[in-house]
Amino acid sequence: MRRFVCLIILVKLLGVLDVYSQKQESNFQLMADSCYVYLEKQDSVSFINTLSQLYEAYLKENDTYYQISQKLERILLEDQSIRLLYLDARKNKVELVGCIRTYMNEIDKRNSLYAFSVLKEHGWLTTDEISERANEALFLIVQHCNDEELQIQCLDMLKEKLTEYPTEKWHYAFLTDRFAMNQGKEQVYGTQKIIRKGIPYIVPLKYPEKVDSLRTEMGLSPLWDELNEEYDSEWDLEKYFQDLPLIKQIYDEYCSKRH
């Protein structure tokens, strides 16, 4: 008898849940219905407040790119926040640097999985499809991950976009150099550097004599001007060659620690 009663209760509960699920409309529709009610009641304050949220609710449910943008923008905040904390800890809380680095690696890995799913379905998304911040987030996820396969795929995707979307050129330049750096090779555009005691050391250049012309093609400013302005240093091509043995030593040390 008890089992029978329990069964009846369960059936009723499932029926209630089924009715409840059927009644669950989209958030957009619920808000639209609320607007109608407020209009009928002549509740202008509630109507305006709800109306102001209606379009965003619609986009969240119907615009795939909007949903991706929202997710990527949240990722951007997380990506930059953990890195800011890491840099601050290196100065103010050295004993926690290792712990923060572990969190950072976990975040990068999780974000790269999301980026991989987006890129697999949609390819490289430009600012025609997603917001500028979301586009920046997509680039940073790939830039910060250690997934060479993903980086190669993105380089191929970006290369196809360069003619139609010149603003993607600097993404291509940075990712090209980061990929080379991850492999312990020389960089092309001079976008990657290693900081030692506040001094920037350029990762060895593949074409040092023509690095500025290559950068110009990618919409980047002259390398030495950028370095000197950003770090109040006195770099030029001559100094680069003079310090090249030290630069290579620092780079080798970086690569050995990384691998």
Domain residue ranges of the chain, discontinuous segments joined by +: 63-147, 162-259
Tokens standing for residue 15: 């029926």
The predicted pLDDT at position 251 comes to 96
Range of lowest pLDDT (5-19, 33-47, 93-107, 227-241): 5-19
* Residue 122, pLDDT above cutoff 80: yes
Buried b (16+ CB within 10 A) or exposed e, 19-46: eeeeeeeeebeebbebbeebeeeeeeee
Q: Which whole number is the average pLDDT over 194-221? A: 93
The predicted pLDDT at position 17 comes to 40
The rounded distance, in Å, linking the Cα atoms of 79 and 195 is: 20
The tens digit of pLDDT for each residue in 229-258 reads 887 778 889 999 999 999 999 999 999 987
Range of lowest pLDDT (31-35, 58-62, 81-85, 137-141): 58-62
The predicted pLDDT at position 147 comes to 87
Cβ neighbours for 163, distance < 8 A, ≥ 6 positions apart:
none
The predicted pLDDT at position 199 comes to 83
Tokens standing for residue 9: 């209760």
Averaged confidence pLDDT in the chain: 86
* Residue among 162, 156, 202 nearest 176 (CA): 156
* Residue 102, pLDDT above cutoff 60: yes
* Residue 36, pLDDT above cutoff 80: yes
The predicted pLDDT at position 20 comes to 38
Radius of gyration of the chain (CA): 26
What are the start-end ranges of the E strands in the chain?
193-196, 199-202
Q: Are 182 and 151 in contact (CB under 8 A)?
A: yes
10 Å Cβ neighbour count for 173?
A: 22
Give burial (CB, 10 Å; 0-12/13-18/19+) of 257.
exposed
Q: Which whole number is the average pLDDT over 75-85? A: 96
The tens digit of pLDDT for each residue in 187-196 reads 999 999 998 8
Place of tokens 């993903």: 150
Any alpha helices (H) in 63-131, and if so which ranges? 64-92, 97-122
